[in-house]
Structure 1
Amino acid sequence: MLFSYKSLGLVLAASIAALVTGCQEKDEIPVDYSAIAYKFFKPVSFAQDSSKNSEISSLECRFDYRYAVMLGDTLDVTVLEFESDVYALDYYMNSGHFQGSVPILRGNFLEQSFRADKHIFIFRHDSYRRYERADLENYVRKFPGYHGGFPQAFLSLPFEFREQGRSSIQTKFFLGVKSSFPVLEQSYRDGNLRWNVARSWDQVESDAFSAWASGLKHVEPVGIFPANDCIYFEAGEGSNGIASRLSGGRVAVVWGYMSWPDLERTFFTASDRIYEARY
């Protein structure tokens, strides 16, 4: 009987191991990008390029599709895949190539674009053809790895007094100083009072923060007691700023046309949100 129990245990262990292995293998099945359809149309041509792009250093891969939707009508789709969400959003917002939901007329073709997660989707078709934006959005949602919306890190910035349309991402320079870490930036306004809050996309090494902070114009604040872990700087004529690398490695920065006491209160409120945020 003892032998039977041992045998049964071995069989169960082997079965569980096989099940786990099977699940792992199932999760690791590679995506066949060449088979991605638009509605029920399979691509008539497909190209994938993962070579390094000298003009867009954060671009990891480019996919090009052509769909024959009807006789004499083709839909071209280009998908740009970046290192992460922040680089895709940076290129989408700052390159000047995209107009969001507004179609762009380029010669005889209309171009529509979307950004989702670390991808940018560019749809190109004859200007006299009509493509429902809902159909294009559905294509985007079905693309492997899709998750929509703004990067979650933006949610950690304060909501009150946000200026609509005044969000930005800086990946090379921040406050006019060369930076090695991406930064999310949001502008705020309360009447005539204006200020900005920014945070690093991710954790930042101490040396990287110090290298960036060394390029700021450091000043002594007036009316407050300077904290050892904060940098106080001039952000422009009449504009003060406070920056700090928080515990855990995130960087928080606030600057604007405020007195030092008001700026300090604003900084503490923002830095608490950034520190406690999940992303």
Structure 2
Amino acid sequence: DTVKFSYGSARVLYDVTFRLETGTILALVGPNGSGKTTLIRCIDRILHPEGSILINEQNIHQMSRNDLATTIGYVPQNGTKIAAATVFDVVMMGRTPHISWRLGDVDIERIEYAIRLLGIEDLAEREYNELSGGQQQKVLIARAVAQDPKLLLLDEPTNSLDIHHQLEALATISDLSHSTGMTVVMAVHDLSIAARYADMLMMLKNGAIVAIGKPEELITPDRIREVYNVDARILHDPEAGLIVAPLRAVSGAAV
């Protein structure tokens, strides 16, 4: 069953269909307006598309709100406005679907684990709204990790992070996925980063899937020209892996 979505009369997703094995990291890549964020919001049930989305053979539109919250963790693109709360309190919100009436020992352990994992122990008692954008992004990732989801959705998770924290956060997400079997779907702009940390890529353009496969299969000069209207050179580094070096925009550039 394919997924389609429109904003009013404007179609923004066309016949999207794919299947992921448990524990896979999938990077959604493509130019601005290609449908990456819309697809993530459809999977998280923020938007209601035509067609069915199944997680472990369960239709997300037939799940209770609590079941959905224990299944999917979501980190939005531009942060979240939160009323006065400490970092610890924000991460604790990730445990909400697991709590009956009070925090248990397991909940405290999962909160502290998520805080340690993202390296934000020194921020735990700080007010969330006083943090930088990059710090807030790490807190929101920690909140999603504390949720213990089967599927983690990340909309441009490195958007507000400097290079050091980009690599640190994505290595953490990669290690967590491969050690726990958590599936990850993330929208990423940087093709070199996507190639390094994702098991699979989905290339989108104008709301449709152009190709889906392993990074080394999809990241080619011809494919990049097709999707981005950019000439690029692909370099191979023994440690960093595939590196995409854009050379020039070509006519009919994607927007």
TM range (shorter): under 0.3
TM score, norm. by length of structure 2: 0.23
Larger radius of gyration: 1
TM score, norm. by length of structure 1: 0.22
Larger relative strand fraction: 1
Larger relative helix fraction: 2
Structure with the bigger RCO (C-alpha within 8 Å, sep 6+) is 2
